[in-house]
């Protein structure tokens, strides 16, 4: 059997008894035109291994294979989906490897060969945590060339937000420090079965070869976590305890201690993080 002659997804769901489970964030995409459109946002897949999280009944998995992925490594927590995915694997000439388990616990790297793209309609309950992990390895460039991911629209807006907007925060800084994110398109709740309560959006995040500005990723993460944890407070208060004398460090990089985190640009956060690093060394 070829990928094109696999049964429609509604039939697959019925045959394998895949009634959606809320606890696993299961909102399935059943329209193969739509899964094809998502897969194409990742660009050319031939010559790439693709990591997919949460393939479910395999709508997006089919599209990734049809778009020519060299191999798809898919991590799925729901064992009920495995027989349906095995059928896709057989129809793809063995290009699908399914890892059964929790994507937060399994390490897919031994199963992947560079270059790698990540494409997923993520379970909402683990999406942000996975994104932060993929964005914050110590070394850069990371194992992936790009991430093409479905999020709730609000999360997508946080990823691409610029200073001065309500959505601007930790996720914006982590996404823009060493990568280039853009929102591709939005999907209404009715695109999914069952429909979620919120509008979704596909985001494409391309890894940059190097960070936009010099900074330690670890210290930058710490600074923005503190700054945005108390985003209404002035920096001199929200950053208290970061170094013994926060005011002097802020003065040294010409950032007014009375400013609030949402007005501080990525470049300023990087400068501040460097000053924190130096202040800690001088201790
Ligand atoms: N990709 C499919 C689609 O587009 O129709 C399903 C997407 S559905 C939003 C999320 C999928 O992730 C479900 O199949 C669910 O079982 C799976 N999932 C949930 N939590 C997971 C986890 N921690 N690790 C791996 N898969 C998980």
The pLDDT of residue 142 is: 98
Is the CB of 54 within 6 Å of ligand 1?
A: yes
Residue 188's pLDDT is what?
Answer: 97
Which positions ≥6 away from 83 have C-beta within 8 Å? 16
pLDDT at 210: 97
State the CATH number of the domain containing residue 225. Answer: 1.10.8.100
In 3-state terms, what secondary structure has residue 234? strand
Measured in Å, residue 208 CA sits from the centre of ligand 1 at 28
**Nearby residues of 224 by Cβ (< 8 Å), 6 or more positions away:** 169, 170, 173, 174, 261, 269
- 212 in a structural domain: no
Give the position, in ligand 1's atom list, of the atom nearest the Cα of 106.
24
From ligand 1's centre to the CA of 22, what distance in Å?
10
**How many domains does one find in the chain?**
2
Q: Do 31 and 170 share a structural domain?
A: yes
pLDDT at 282 over 90: no
Q: Does 168 lie in the same domain as 253?
A: no
Contact 273, 243 (CB under 8 A): no
Residue 123 confidence (pLDDT): 86
- Would you place residue 38 in the very low, low, confident or very high pLDDT band (cuts 50, 70, 90)? very high
pLDDT of residue 51: 98
Name residue 145's beta-bridge partners.
none
Q: What is the dihedral of CA 156, 161, 165, 167, to 10 degrees?
A: 30
Instruction: Determine the Cα–Cα distance for residues 31 and 181; give it in Å rounded to an integer.
Output: 25
Tell me, in angstroms, the distance from the centre of ligand 1 to residue 160's CA.
24
238 pLDDT above the threshold of 80 = yes
> Which of 262, 75, 240, 250 shows the shortest CA–CA distance to 171?
262
Given 150, 173, 207, the domain boundary residue is 207
CA distances from 175 to 63, 112, 134, 180, 283 (A): 26, 23, 10, 7, 30
- Taking the centre of ligand 1 as the mean of its atom positions, its distance from the CA of residue 66, in whole angstroms, is 20
For residue 67, the Cα-to-chain-centroid distance in whole angstroms is 21
pLDDT at site 283: 73
234 found inside a domain: yes
Q: What is the mean pLDDT of residues 247-273?
A: 97
* CB-based contact 71:49 (threshold 8 Å): yes
CATH of residue 160's domain is: 3.40.50.150
* Mean pLDDT across 133-149: 97
Tell me the pLDDT tens digit for each residue of 93-130.
999 999 999 999 999 999 999 999 999 999 887 999 99
pLDDT tier for residue 1 given thresholds of 50, 70 and 90:
confident
* End-of-domain residue from the set 207, 236, 255: 207
> Given the CA of residue 9, which atom of ligand 1 is nearest to it?
5
For residue 55 and ligand 1, the question of a CB distance below 6 A is answered with: yes
Looking at the fold, whether 21 and 129 belong to one and the same domain comes out as yes
Ligand 1 centroid from CA 140, angstroms: 28
pLDDT single digits (tens) 70-91: 999 999 999 999 999 999 999 9
> Domain check: are 39 and 147 in the same one?
yes
Q: How far is the CA of 139 from the centre of ligand 1 (A)?
A: 28
**What tens digit of pLDDT does each residue of 199-218 get?**
999 999 999 999 999 999 99
Tokens representing residue 43 in the block: 């660009």
Site to probe by mutation for ligand 1, drawn from 120, 123, 131, 187 as the one with most ligand atoms within 8 Å of Cβ, is: 123
Q: Considering the chain, what is the average pLDDT of its residues?
A: 97
Angle CA(116)–CA(72)–CA(34) in degrees, nearest 5?
100
Contact 121, 54 (CB under 8 A): yes
Ramachandran angles phi, psi of 261, nearest 5°: -55, -40
**Residue 169 C-alpha to ligand 1 middle, in angstroms?**
26
Whether 126 lines ligand 1, by a CB cut-off of 6 Å, is yes
Whether 52 and 141 map to the same domain: the answer is yes
Domain stops at, among 207, 240, 257 = 207
Mean pLDDT in residue range 121-147: 95
Give the pLDDT of residue 125: 79
Percent of the chain having pLDDT more than 70? 100
Residues 191 and 223 placed together within one structural domain of the fold: no
Q: Three-class SS of residue 152?
A: strand
Summarize pLDDT for 11-35 with one digit per residue, the tens: 999 999 999 999 999 999 999 999 9
Is 64's C-beta closer than 6 angstroms to any atom of ligand 1?
Answer: no
Residue 190 confidence (pLDDT) above 90 = yes
Say if residue 272's pLDDT is above 90: yes
Same domain, 43 and 127: yes
> Which pLDDT score is estimated for 124?
81
Judge if 27 and 151 occupy the same domain: yes
Residue range of the domain that includes 260 = 217-282
The response to whether residue 60 sits with its C-beta less than 6 Å from ligand 1 reads yes
């Amino acid at each position: 059997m070829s990928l094109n002659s696999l049964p429609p997804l509604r039939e697959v769901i019925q045959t394998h008894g895949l009634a959606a489970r809320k606890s696993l964030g299961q909102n399935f995409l059943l329209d193969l035109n739509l899964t094809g459109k998502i897969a194409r946002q990742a660009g050319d897949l031939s010559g790439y291994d693709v990591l997919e999280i949460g393939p479910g009944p395999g709508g997006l998995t089919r599209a990734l294979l049809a778009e020519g992925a060299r191999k798809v490594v898919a991590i799925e927590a729901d064992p009920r989906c495995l027989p349906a995915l095995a059928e896709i694997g057989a129809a793809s000439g063995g290009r699908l490897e399914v890892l059964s388990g929790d994507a937060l616990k399994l390490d897919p790297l031994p199963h992947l060969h560079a270059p790698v793209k990540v494409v997923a309609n993520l379970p909402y309950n683990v999406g942000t945590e996975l994104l932060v992990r993929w964005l914050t390895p110590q070394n850069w460039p990371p194992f992936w060339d790009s991430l093409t991911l479905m999020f709730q629209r609000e999360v997508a807006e946080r990823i691409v937000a610029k200073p001065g907007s309500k959505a601007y925060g930790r996720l914006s800084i982590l996404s823009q420090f060493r990568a280039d994110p853009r929102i591709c398109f939005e999907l209404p709740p009715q695109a999914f079965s069952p429909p979620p309560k919120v509008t979704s959006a596909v985001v494409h995040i391309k890894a940059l070869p190097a960070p936009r500005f010099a900074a330690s990723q670890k210290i930058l993460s710490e600074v923005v976590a503190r700054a945005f944890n108390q985003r209404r407070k002035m920096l001199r208060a929200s950053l208290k305890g970061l170094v013994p004398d926060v005011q002097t460090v802020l003065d040294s990089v010409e950032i007014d201690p009375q400013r609030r985190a949402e007005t501080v640009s990525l470049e300023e956060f990087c400068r501040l993080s460097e000053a924190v690093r130096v202040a800690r060394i001088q201790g």
